Amino acid sequence: MRLTALLGCSVIVLAGCGSMPVTGDVKAVDASQPGDSQVQVYAVEPREGAAPSEIVDGFLESMTSDDPGFRTTRKYLSRAAAKTWQPSEGTTVLAQAPNRSGPLLHDEERRDSETSYTLTGEKVAAVDAQSSYQPLAPTDYSQILHLVREEVADGKTEWRIDIVPDGLVLGQSDFKRLYRSVNKYYFATGRTDGRPALVADPVYVRTGTDPVTRMSTATQTVRTLLEGPTNWLRPVVDSRFPTGTALRKGVVALAPDDQNVLKVPLNDKADKAGRAACRMMAAQVLFTLRDLTSARVEQVELEGGKGRLCALDADEAAKFSADNGSDGPDSQYFIDAKGTVQKIPGATGGNGTPEAVHGPLGTSAAAMGAVGVARDEQRAAAVSADGQHLYVASLVASGELAPPAVTSAGKKAADRLSSP
**Which residue did the predictor score with more confidence, 87 or 328?**
87
92 DSSP β-pair partners: 126, 169
**Which residue did the predictor score with more confidence, 34 or 181?**
181
Q: pLDDT (tens digit, 9 = 90+) per residue, 138-164?
A: 999 999 999 999 998 888 999 999 999
Residue 379 has pLDDT above 90, yes or no: no
**Residue 346: what pLDDT?**
61
Q: How many C-beta atoms surround the C-beta of residue 361 within 10 A? A: 29
* Closest alpha carbon to 380 in 336, 74, 397: 397
Residue 328 has pLDDT above 60, yes or no: no
In the chain, where the domains are located: 19-177, 181-320, 332-415
Q: Considering only 125-134, 166-175, 290-299, which range has the smallest mean pLDDT?
A: 290-299
**Residue 11: what pLDDT?**
32
**Residue 320: what pLDDT?**
85
SS (H, E, C) the chain: CCEEEECCCCCCCCCCCCCCCCCCCCCCCCCCCCCCCCEEEECCCCCCCCCHHHHHHHHHHHCCCCCHHHHHHHCCECHHHHHHCCHHHCEEEECCCCEEEEEECCCCCCCCCEEEEEEEEEEEEEECCCCCEEEEEEEEEEEEEEEEEEECHHHCEEEEEEECCCCEEEEHHHHHHHEEEEEEEEEECCCCCCCCCEEEEEEEEECCCCCCCCCCHHHHHHHHHHHCCCCCCHHHEECCCCCCCCECCCCCCCCCCCCCEEEEEECHHHHHCCHHHHHHHHHHHHHHHCCCCCCCCCEEEEEECCEEEEEEEHHHHHHHCCCCCCCCCCCEEEECCCCCEEEECCCCCCCCCCEECCCHHHCCCCCEEEEEECCCCCEEEEEECCCCEEEEEECCCCCCCCCCCEECCCCCHHHCCCCC
Round to whole Å and give the CA distance between 403 and 420.
Answer: 17
**Residue 106: what pLDDT?**
64
Q: How many C-beta atoms surround the C-beta of residue 74 within 10 A? A: 21
Kindly indicate the confidence band of residue 108, based on its pLDDT and cuts at 50, 70 and 90. low
CATH number for the segment(s) 19-177: 3.10.450
Residue 326 has pLDDT above 60, yes or no: no
**Residue 343: what pLDDT?**
87
* Closest alpha carbon to 340 in 320, 359, 356: 356
Residue 35 has pLDDT above 70, yes or no: no
Dihedral angle of Cα 70, 76, 81, 87, to the nearest 10 degrees: -30
> What is the end-to-end Cα distance of the chain in Å, rounded?
42
Contact 374, 396 (CB under 8 A): no
* Closest alpha carbon to 119 in 95, 143, 152: 143
Q: pLDDT (tens digit, 9 = 90+) per residue, 42-86?
A: 889 999 999 999 999 999 999 999 999 999 999 999 999 999 999
* Closest alpha carbon to 123 in 97, 163, 99, 92: 92
Percentage of residues in the chain having pLDDT higher than 90: 54
Contact 199, 185 (CB under 8 A): yes
Q: pLDDT (tens digit, 9 = 90+) per residue, 197-253?
A: 898 899 999 998 999 999 999 999 999 999 999 998 899 899 999 999 999 999 999
Round to whole Å and give the CA distance between 346 and 367.
Answer: 25
Instruction: Read off the pLDDT of each residue in 381-400 and give the average, rounded to a whole number.
Output: 89
Contact 284, 302 (CB under 8 A): no
**Residue 148: what pLDDT?**
95
